[in-house]
Amino acid sequence: MSPEMKRGLVAFGSGLLFGVGLLLSGMTDPKSVICFLDVFGDWNPRLAFVMAGAIGVHAPIVAWVRRRGTPLLAARLLIPTRRDIDVVLVGGSALFGIGWGISGYCPGPVLVSLPSAQVGVVVFVAALIFGSWITHVLSAARAAPSQASTSS
């Protein structure tokens, strides 16, 4: 089996496990998320337990891979090194949080919910795709002038 096929199978299995976990925990229901965010009203802490479970699985694996020095299915570790906080990061985070709070959806759960074909889910996914495209276009436009000045 080729390395690309192994990576694809691991990615598919990870995504499938993630999706099943979201379904079983009820996190594909936007009401669960909105109730978690409503700390002064009908607060439901279930999302905190889901997050703690995800961190409990992820953290030891990351620690193991870092100790090992190399990943199993890639040539090297790709760990982000940037630590600066800029307007793009804060603005994107705020936009994500506002959208999550209003709709109750974030990208993972909404993609798991997509087969339901509910209007809200389809609209959210369309907005997600459009927003991702706009971000790509704006990022390319921002990078173009700096690339042109370095090549002259």
Quick one: 106 exposed, middle or buried, by C-beta within 10 A (0-12, 13-18, 19+)? middle
Which residues, other chains included, contact 19 with Cβ-Cβ below 8 Å and sequence gap of 6+? Answer: 108, 111, 112
Tell me the one-letter amino acid at 12. Answer: F
pLDDT of residue 150: 57
The answer to whether the CB of 32 falls within 8 A of the CB of 46 is yes
Instruction: Say what the pTM is.
Output: 0.68
Q: What percent of the chain has pLDDT over 70?
A: 95
pLDDT of residue 152: 53
Q: Which residues of the chain have pLDDT under 70?
A: 146-152
H or E element that contains 85: none
